[in-house]
Every structure is written in structure tokens, then in C-alpha cells.
Chains A and B, each alone.
Chain A
């Protein structure tokens, strides 16, 4: 009769590992467990119904918030005016006109002043005289 084998510590560890591996195989092979794991990975679904894709959900429901305010109009006008060329602005033509008028007035005033400082117009010739001569006279 053979002697009864004595169980060693190594054999006890191997037996435990075998049991754990078997349990893992059983769990992984079960179909309901894989589906459940997949469901666990998904984000929880929102409770609200799905909105149409074209609808802007950020758009405020209050219409008064969407109406243009005077400030918006002013900003839009300013942006429009900023985009205009310099010659399309009335200020350009106002300043240009003022400068042109000023230059003409300056030239006319200078000529008049110069003429005045140089004696102005000679007085008309007395018809009783034979003739008038000298500076300023047409001769």
C-alpha cells in the first residue's frame, strides 16, 4: 500500500490560482455580463426629448432679448461708418470745402490787402483835365 501523499504549500497555491482563473472564465463567457459592461460604459441618457438639429437651443425664448436696442444700432452704424472710405464721409467734404473756401478767401484777401497797401485804386481822372498820368494811371 502506497503512502498517503502529503500536500505541500506550492500545490495549495496552484489550486487557488486555478479556482480564480475558472471563475474569471465563467464571468467573461457569460453574454449578459458583456452587454451589461457595455451599458455601463455609455453615458446616461438625458431625460429630455431630443431637439431638432436645426433648432438653436441657446436662443433665448424671450423675444425682447432678441430685439435690437439703440446701442446695437449705434454700434452697427459705427461699424458701417468705419468701413466707409474717407471720401465717402461727409466730414471729409466739409473739411475740404472749408479749406477750399478758406484758401480762396485768403488769396482774395491777400490780393486786396496787398492792393490796398499799395495805394489801392487811383482816383478817377477829372474830365476837366487834359489827361491823368503817373502811378496807377492806365495811360
Chain B
């Protein structure tokens, strides 16, 4: 009976993992952020800190700082971020927030936009966040940028 012990352990652990852990599959959401007129390249270049807030079927807050999308390196296509989650049902919303300073402050918010996708069995979904407005009151052009 002893040689059967490992096999029984594997089966037991497998069944236990299947019962208690469930079967998860990664789902990927490729979120492309773009700027659209009247937002200008000069305006978005003033953003030094950005956030991607995930809400709904998944929940997360991702900070984008130097080298990770903020300040944006491209225009009008700021770039694509891939978000992985096990969520396969419900609505999942991606909100992009651009800030004038390195802190999350509503008074420093330059621009915000979001997109909502429906989570499903589809492994990869693509969405686009389009920045169509810019608050110059909160985010005045930098002096160096203004001279250009």
C-alpha cells in the first residue's frame, strides 16, 4: 500500500486545489491611451505623474511615473498598458488620470478619461482611452515649454 501513497497524495492535493482554488485563467486587457485635439502635445507634456485606476470586475491602482508612461513619451499615442486579471465576467473600467505634480491631488489633475470593457472568456481584449480635455488651470504650461 505504501507505494500508492504519493499517487493518492497527488490526487488528493489536486482535487483539493481544484475544489478550493478553482481554475483561473488570465485575461489580458490592452489599454491604449491617446490624446486627441484639442489636447496638445505641449499640454500633456506637463503631466509628471499619471494613474491608471482599474475598477469594477477588477480593482487596482497603478502609478505611472518616469519611464512608465508619464510624462508621455509619444503623441498622440501615449502608449499601451497591458493589464492581466482573472476576471472573466462583469464590467471593468480603466481610468487614466494625469497630474501636474508627483501626488494624487484633484487640484493637480490635468486630464482624465476612461474606457469600460466587458470581461468575458476572451483572453485578450483591447480598449482605448482617449484624452479629449485638458485643465490648464490645474496644469499651466511649464515656463520652459511656454517659451517654445
Interface residues of chain A, those whose CB is within 8 Å of chain B, are 95, 98-99, 101-103, 105-106, 109-110, 113-114, 117-120, 122-123, 125-126, 128-137
Whether B82 contacts A136 by the Cβ 8 Å rule is no
Q: Is B10 an interface residue (CB 8 A)?
A: yes
Contacts of B22 in A (CB 8 A): 117
Contacts of A137 in B (CB 8 A): 84
Instruction: Identify the stretch in B24-32, B41-49, B106-114, B129-137 within 8 Å (CB) of chain A at 4 or more residues.
Output: B24-32
User: CA A139 – CA B142 in complex, angstroms?
Assistant: 31
Whether A130 contacts B85 by the Cβ 8 Å rule is no
Q: Which of A98, A101, A109, A130 has the most CB of B within 10 A?
A: A130
Q: Which of B73-118 contact A (CB under 8 A)?
A: 78-86
Contacts of B7 in A (CB 8 A): 102, 106
Interface residues of chain B, those whose CB is within 8 Å of chain A, are 2-3, 5-7, 9-10, 13-14, 17-18, 21-26, 28, 30, 52, 54, 58, 60, 62, 64, 68-69, 78-86
User: CA A129 – CA B62 in complex, angstroms?
Assistant: 15
Give the dominant DSSP class at A's interface: mixed
Q: Count CB-based A-B contacts (< 8 Å).
A: 102
User: CA A120 – CA B83 in complex, angstroms?
Assistant: 16
Whether A131 contacts B68 by the Cβ 8 Å rule is yes
Contacts of A134 in B (CB 8 A): 54, 58, 60, 82-85
Contacts of B5 in A (CB 8 A): 99, 102
Contacts of A109 in B (CB 8 A): 10, 13-14
User: CA A134 – CA B52 in complex, angstroms?
Assistant: 11
23 A-B pairs whose Cβ atoms sit less than 8 Å apart in the complex: A99-B2, A106-B6, A106-B9, A109-B13, A114-B13, A114-B17, A114-B21, A117-B21, A117-B22, A117-B24, A122-B84, A123-B26, A123-B28, A128-B80, A130-B69, A131-B64, A131-B81, A131-B82, A132-B82, A133-B82, A134-B82, A135-B26, A135-B84
Whether B80 contacts A119 by the Cβ 8 Å rule is no
A18–chain B nearest beta-carbon distance, Å: 100
User: CA A95 – CA B17 in complex, angstroms?
Assistant: 28
A125–chain B nearest beta-carbon distance, Å: 6
User: CA A103 – CA B26 in complex, angstroms?
Assistant: 30
What are the 6 A-B residue pairs with the smallest beta carbon separation, nearest first? A102-B6, A134-B84, A130-B79, A110-B13, A106-B9, A119-B24
Whether B17 contacts A117 by the Cβ 8 Å rule is yes
6 additional contacts (CB under 8 A) given A105-B10, A117-B18, A123-B26: A109-B13, A113-B14, A119-B26, A129-B79, A129-B80, A132-B84
